[in-house]
Amino acid sequence: MKTILVVSTDPLLIHLAERLLSPRFRAIVLGGMVSAVDAIYNNIPNLVVVEIPAGDSTTAEAINNLKEDPMFNQLPILAVIGDQPPPDWEGLLVEDYLRKGDLERDLLSRVLLAVSRSERVVEINPLTRLPGNISINRQIEDRLGRGEFFSFAYADLDYFKPFNDKYGFSRGDEVIKITGRLILNIVKSRQPKGSFIGHIGGDDFVFIMEPGPVEGACGEIIRAFDQIIPTLYDPEDRERSGIDSKDRRGTARFFPLIGISIGVSGTSIRSFSHFGELTGAASEMKRYAKKTQGSSYEIDRRATPPT
């Protein structure tokens, strides 16, 4: 059950909030923002409903301070105000607000909307705007918990580092952005609903699809990648299909064009009890894919776990 923190000293507000929220959420009531912050640091709720009394600056300060830290930046806060004019929102970092007089009518709906919105935007990678590790883990665990049949694909790039070293990080970033967009759009076009695309960081991406369309998507990602990536090289490097750069030991050598390797495992062929087991199987498949020169994918077809 999701947790809503209600921060207020107004008995009417508290009573109303508990009554309206309790069927759907676990509501925890605290008397002030400072003690609420302490509670939040220990256990992050899904949303905070906080009364902002007129002329009170400590509540606002506590909220803003909380929001400074990236860990809590995404926690949605719903402000409740009385009849006073709305405060300066630049100085109060909340997601939404409600009037006390509208609580009976709107509180539950606003809370549901705010929670839903926060789940849509959690920990976005600034480069690709794709969700990161927390969402990825949650996606996998939710699906494992529901006993869903799904395929999990793990992708990364070959020879990305030498490209980054030679052309600079802003051109490296273009490669990452293009990779993210390609995976996103191809997966979404083949399975518009229920698919998921995440960016672990660096040149590591994952996606989740139904088992049926996953192989077609992998093939299309590889084809699209191999078409677009060469256009990001300087013409002379593209002509010779690679670049001179340095390896991890600093030795100069020739590197082929960047490729993408995708490893796929899934729950339709065998069961996984834990997400680490599933991601491990997918990254093992990715290692197989990496043995092939150029872009490739490998799909786990083993019915029994690797020994």
Residue numbers of the site for another protein (CB under 8 A)?
Answer: 174, 177-178, 181-182, 184-186, 188-189, 192, 224, 227-228, 230-232, 238
- Which candidate, 181, 285, 168, places its Cα nearest to that of 225? 181
Query: Which residues on adjacent β-strands are paired with residue 210?
Result: none
- What is the nearest approach in angstroms of another protein to the Cβ of residue 258? 15
Q: Closest CB to another protein among 5 and 208?
A: 208
- What is the nearest approach in angstroms of another protein to the Cβ of residue 184? 7
- What is the nearest approach in angstroms of another protein to the Cβ of residue 224? 5
Q: Closest CB to another protein among 171 and 290?
A: 171
Q: Closest CB to another protein among 21 and 187?
A: 187
DSSP at 131: B
The tokens 């919105």 sit on which residue?
A: 117
Cα separation of 254 and 14, whole Å?
Answer: 68
Cα separation of 166 and 289, whole Å?
Answer: 25
- What is the nearest approach in angstroms of another protein to the Cβ of residue 218? 15
- What is the nearest approach in angstroms of another protein to the Cβ of residue 73? 23
65: number of Cβ within 10 Å:
14
Cα separation of 40 and 53, whole Å?
Answer: 21
Which tokens sit at 88? 């300066």
The tokens 């606003």 sit on which residue?
A: 110
Q: Closest CB to another protein among 11 and 126?
A: 126
- What is the nearest approach in angstroms of another protein to the Cβ of residue 182? 6
For residue 40, with 0-12 CB atoms within 10 Å meaning exposed, 13-18 middle and 19 or more buried, which class applies? buried
Radius of gyration of the chain (CA): 24
Which tokens sit at 234? 């300087």
Angle at 79 between CA 75 and CA 81, to 5 degrees: 175
Paired sense of beta strands 204-209 and 196-201, if any: antiparallel
Q: Closest CB to another protein among 215 and 284?
A: 215
- What is the nearest approach in angstroms of another protein to the Cβ of residue 227? 7
Q: Name the helix (H) or strand (E) containing 218.
A: helix 211-228
Q: Closest CB to another protein among 10 and 174?
A: 174
Q: Closest CB to another protein among 211 and 230?
A: 230
